[in-house]
Amino acid sequence: MKLFNPIARAVTAVVVIAGAAACAAQPAPPPQNAAPMPPPPPSAGVPVPPAPPGMAPPPPPNGALSPAPPPQGVAPAPPPNGVAPPAPPAPGAGAPANVSGVVQRFLINPEGDVDGMLLAGNTLVRFPPHVGAQVTGSISAGDKVTASGFAQPGGALQASQIVDTRNGRSIADQPPPDDAQRLPRSLAGIGLVKLNAAGRVLRVTSAPRGEPDGVLLNDGTVIKLTPPAAMQFADLLQPGVTIAAQGYGTRNRYGESFQATAFGTPGKLTVLYDKLPR
């Protein structure tokens, strides 16, 4: 009996020590109302799991910091290497626009009506022929004007209003009166004469839908083409190219304009129509 008591006491001590160690290995329960502990930061190359709702996301691995947004009211840093960002594009065709400049010359259509003007810097302003008489009656070459309207292909402007900045007089595009005298269709082109021209292209003109329909030469001569005919000479309808043409139109104190019946380069014209007026 005496031998048994020491052995029993030793066994009991071992059991007590093992139970204490097991209790020490278990994590202590968090105190009530304590905020949950955030997960440890992940190692490099290990995907970051999303944070539980209401918790801030863990910091990036290796101590890397995300770029902070610039403070309000502070301009962004300039681009590297001193390269400036591209300028905003010019207004597209049909967009409202306005231009200002000094009138260099007036332009006419093949019938002889003033239907445009060229400003300093070679800016082309177009307007309907029935407005031409009002424009030339109040504006002269050398006057400064401001025109507002709608952008056209190639940088031209279809004007709806033209203002003479010298006296403030405004000319608006309004339909002609119903009782206005119009030339009968049977007499259309009766006053046209045969003309020819050669020179360097200053600008390519466009039809209302944007198709090329002719050229404006450096001397102010207007040469018109039908859009289908213009497609045959796409390589010649370029600024700076020397062209030649023949056709029928008008020459008056404002300039020269004709509808081409032959087009090409000096000494090499292509006839566009089988039957021509005599």
- pLDDT at position 180: 62
d(CA 247, CA 233): 16
What CATH number labels 189-271?
Answer: 2.40.50.140
In CATH terms, are 96-172 and 189-271 the same topology? yes
pTM here is 0.64
Q: Provide the residue ranges of all domains of the chain, joining segments of one domain with +.
A: 96-172, 189-271
- pLDDT at position 59: 55
Q: Is 187 helix (H, G, I), strand (E, B) or coil?
A: helix
- Tell me the pLDDT tens digit for each residue of 134-177: 999 999 999 999 999 999 887 899 999 999 998 899 999 887 76
- pLDDT at position 84: 46
Location of structure tokens 């050229």: 215
- Residue 157's nearest CA partner among 200, 99, 220, 103 is 99
Class of the CATH domain delimited by 96-172: mainly beta
| Mean per-residue pLDDT pooled into runs of 10, the chain (278 residues) | 48 46 49 52 51 54 48 52 49 82 97 96 94 94 96 90 93 76 67 95 91 96 96 96 97 96 97 77
- pLDDT at position 181: 65
* Residue type at position 56: A
Task: Assess contact for 257 and 209: CB atoms under 8 A.
Answer: no
Could you tell me the CA-to-CA distances from 265 to 49, 72, 215 in Å, in that order? 72, 61, 13
- Tell me the pLDDT tens digit for each residue of 194-203: 999 999 999 9
- pLDDT at position 50: 57
Task: Assess contact for 234 and 201: CB atoms under 8 A.
Answer: no
Both tokens of residue 222?
A: 């207007």
- pLDDT at position 17: 47
Cβ contacts of 215 within 8 Å, gap of 6 or more: 201, 202, 203, 204, 205, 222, 223, 225, 237, 243
d(CA 56, CA 8): 56
